[in-house]
Structure formats: structure tokens, C-alpha cells
Amino acid sequence: MTTNPKVDWFFNEDTPWQKEYAALRRIILDCGLTEELKWGQPCYTLQGKNVVLIHGFKEYCALLFFKGALLKDDPGILIQQTENVQATRQIRFTDVREIVELDKTLKAYVHQAIEVEKAGLKVPLKKTSDFIVPEEFQKKLDEMATLKAAFDALTPGRQRAYIFYFSQAKQSKTRESRIEKYIPKILAGKGLED
């Protein structure tokens, strides 16, 4: 059980989830993973490969399994954050008692995630072409050959991010506004968050 001093600040920070974070850290480190700091969160790796991450939100804190879609989940405690999330799954907590009660189960999930990583298993991801492009964006792609070429040149992840973002708007007017706003970024070869 080796803690990483670069990650200690996360656990020492005054947050509503301090007790829960400490309990989760102990459980994960008991499983023999390496503690690192990634995306400002404690991330636990096996030979440099991400296995599980601790993170918190307003209503809950969670363990996020990077290949959670491949884990056997008989108790039904893994949560797919949104319908667009393909690989990761969370186990959410609102009280340290839940973590203590699930100690053995959580260790079993972490060990299962380690075995998935050791086996080199990959989550089969949908291709960008499998997602429905909002009609407002498809119309722009059809009208502007330069936009279509720039969009096609983006990485699949960047393409999906734009499709998800544009699709999330309920009204056509909002979708059109979002598309117009991001056309310059697409033409510049940049992703949504670049």
C-alpha cells in the first residue's frame, strides 16, 4: 500500500467527501495498483494503464472504472453516466458507510478490472458513422465542402464530441447556434475543448 505524495493534497483538501475518498483510496491501494494524479484526480494504474479513478461531484463521489463496460456486474452497482458513454462505468457513493459495507465487493471489482487490463481486453467502441448526425449539422456539411473535409480530418473522438454536443440541444434553433459557433474551430482542425 504505497501512497503517492503528489496525490496527497487531493485527500487532504477540505471537501464534503474527505472520509469517502480516504476509504476508497485504502481499498484501491490494497489491490496493488500504482497511485498517480491525472486530470486533477487520483488515478490508479497497472503498468501505466488506467484502471480506476476516484472523483467527486456535488451529489456523490465515485469510483470510475475505465473499462467498466467489460466488468461482470451481478449486484448491478455499475452506472453508465450517460447513454453516450461507451467504456467507463461508475460506482457512486453518498456516505462512507456504503463504502465500508461494500469493501469486499469493491475490491472484487478492482481485481476484476486489473484482470481485464492484464488480458489486454478492449471495449468495442462505436464508430463515428454509427452515431446520428443532427440534420442541421448534416445540412452544413452538405453545403460547405471545406467544413466536411475539415470535419472528416478530425480524430474520431473529436468528431463524436461535436456530434454529441450538437445533438444534446433540444431545439433546432439551439443546434444551429451551436453549429455556427463551432464552425471556425472545426475548420481550424480543433476539437470542442481545444
pLDDT level of residue 52 (50, 70, 90 thresholds): very high
Q: Are 42 and 53 within 8 A, CB to CB?
A: yes
Residue ranges with strand state E in the chain? 34-38, 41-46, 49-56, 61-65, 89-93
DSSP 71: S
Opening angle at CA 167, ends 165 and 171, nearest 5: 115
Does the pLDDT at position 180 exceed 80? yes
Beta strands 61-65 and 89-93: pairing type?
A: antiparallel
Q: What is the pLDDT of residue 185?
A: 96
pTM (predicted TM-score): 0.74
Query: Do residues 64 and 53 touch, judged by C-beta distance below 8 A?
Result: yes
Whether the predicted pLDDT of 100 surpasses 80: yes
| Whether the predicted pLDDT of 22 surpasses 80 | yes
**CB within 8 A of 127, min separation 6: which ones?**
156
Does residue 125 register a pLDDT over 80?
no
Distance, in Å, from the CA atom of 95 to the CA atom of 106, rounded to the nearest integer, reads 15
Residue 18 has pLDDT above 90, yes or no: yes
- 3-class secondary-structure state, position 159: helix
Mean pLDDT of 183-194: 92
Specify whether domain 8-118 bears CATH 1.10.3470.
Answer: no
Q: Where are the domains of the chain?
A: 8-118, 128-187
* Tens digits of residue pLDDT in 31-49: 999 999 999 999 999 999 9
Contact 67, 123 (CB under 8 A): yes
pLDDT score of 45: 97
User: What's the mean per-residue pLDDT of the chain?
Assistant: 93
Percent of the chain residues past pLDDT 70, beyond the cut: 99
